[in-house]
Amino acid sequence: MNTTKSKNVITLADEIRSPSFFRKFLMNPQAVVGAVIVIAMLLVAVGAEVITTTDPTRLSPRDKFIEPNFEHPLGTDHLGRDILTRMVYGSRVSLLVGLASVTLSAFIGTVLGALAGYFGGWVDIFISRLIDTFLAIPGLVLTIGLVSILGSGLDRMVLAIGISSWPLYARLVRSSYIALKEMEYVEAAESIGARTGRIILRHILPNAIGPILVVMTIGTAGAILTEAGLSFLGIGLEPKIPTWGRMLAEAKQFIRQYPYMTIFPGLGIMLFTLGFNLLGEGLRDLLDPKQRGRK
């Protein structure tokens, strides 16, 4: 009985850590391309001070509207600010908002979804109605409302996006726990008197983590787009913080005369979201139980 339980509990964790998973990952074009893009953007965000020493907020009206050249590889904007520098620091903002907000929403959704799926009854009814209530409100509208209530700031932006996104994770985790709690290894753990918290965290969660990771990866792309959209509207972050969405908003009036001002931030948003989406799709294929079951 204990052997059966252990094997089931660590199946997915062992699969992810095994050399065979890495080999299958390298054989998946979507996952590889997505990982390369994400890693490259991560390096850019982390190494911002190394890539450029220019202050992203420094104004130089004499240098405005300089087209891409050797000194300014991506040109300058209407205030003489170096676009490459603002792109590099903007990637850091997008990455921070995306990862932090997704982590927050996944944590909230996993906790509530696990409680609803495992306990059922009135706990499930209450949390399910709460999920339905949040899902009835369009995500962007809810995020804008939360930002308006919480105020501007990077931490408040993360909180607003995280709160508006948790129902997706809760619904996914709830369905996983409903199915997994009927497995033999869970019944074995309950029969030997294992604590409820231990069963939820140590016995069921490891086998439910795969879909959560996939949704988190794809959700990061959605969070980046949300941040870009809010920044484009001038909501959530202070004007002095360089973001790709704000760069697009400031450049839209010059799109005909100086199209490079919109091309580069648009490409940055596209590459970031494409990378996370491809990585998420690849992980979904690799972590699909039907695919993992094929030998």
At 123-170, the pLDDT tens digits run 999 999 999 999 999 988 999 999 989 988 899 999 999 999 999 999
At 187-206, the pLDDT tens digits run 888 888 888 888 888 888 88
Tell me the Ramachandran region of residue 66: left when phi exceeds 0, alpha when psi lies from -120 to 50, beta otherwise: beta
24 pLDDT band (50/70/90 cuts)?
confident
The per-residue b/e assignment along 131-165, b for 16 or more CB within 10 angstroms, e otherwise, is beebeeeebeebbbebbeeeeeebebbbbbbbbbb
State pTM to two decimals. 0.86
Q: What phi and psi, each to the nearest 5 degrees, are found at residue 56?
A: -65, -15
* Residue 63 CA: distances (Å) to CA of 6, 58, 257: 65, 11, 16
Per-residue pLDDT at 7 exceeds 70: no
3-state helix, strand, coil in the chain (%, to 5): 75, 0, 20
At 202-242, the pLDDT tens digits run 888 888 888 899 999 999 999 999 999 999 988 878 888 89
Minimal CA–CA distance to 247: which of 261, 237, 235?
A: 261
Pair 237, 243: CB distance under 8 Å: yes
**CATH assignment of 2-292, given 3.40.50.300, 1.10.3720.10, 3.40.109.10, 3.40.50.10860?**
1.10.3720.10
Pair 292, 15: CB distance under 8 Å: yes
Q: Where are the domains of the chain?
A: 2-292
16 pLDDT band (50/70/90 cuts)?
low
Per-residue pLDDT at 271 exceeds 90: yes
3-state secondary structure of 82: strand
